[in-house]
A and B are shown apart, each in its own frame.
Chain A
Amino acid sequence: MPHAKHVKAEDEVDLTNGGADDHRLDPAAMLGTWLNTNATSRGITRVVLEARGEKVVMHPYVAGGSLPADWGEAEAESLYGSNITAKQAIGMVAHFKLETMEAEIQANLNQGLLVVGSFTTLLDGSGRSCYFSREFFHQ
Chain B
Amino acid sequence: MESAKASRISGGRRILDSHPGGAAIDPQPLVGTWMNTNTGSRGITKVSVSTKDGGVVVRAFGACEPSPCDWGESYADVFADDPDSIEGNAFNAFYDFGFMETRLQAHIRQGLLVVAKFDRFKDNSGRANYFSKEFFFHAAE
**Contact A117 B2, CB 8 Å, known A7-B64, A8-B42:** no
Q: Is A44 an interface residue (CB 8 A)?
A: no
Q: Is B31 an interface residue (CB 8 A)?
A: no
Q: Please, how many residues of chain A have a CB less than 8 angstroms from a CB on the other chain?
A: 53
Which label, helix, strand, loop or mixed, suits the secondary structure of the B interface? Answer: loop
A21–B120 touching, CB < 8 Å: no
Within 8 A of A (CB), among B82-112: 82-86, 89-90, 92, 97-100, 103, 105, 107
Q: Is A47 an interface residue (CB 8 A)?
A: no
Question: Residues of B at under 8 Å CB distance from A?
Answer: 1-6, 18-23, 25, 42-44, 62-65, 69, 71, 77-86, 89-90, 92, 97-100, 103, 105, 107, 116, 118-121, 123-133
Question: Residues of A at under 8 Å CB distance from B?
Answer: 2-13, 15, 19-23, 25, 66, 78-87, 90-91, 93, 104, 106, 108, 117, 119-134
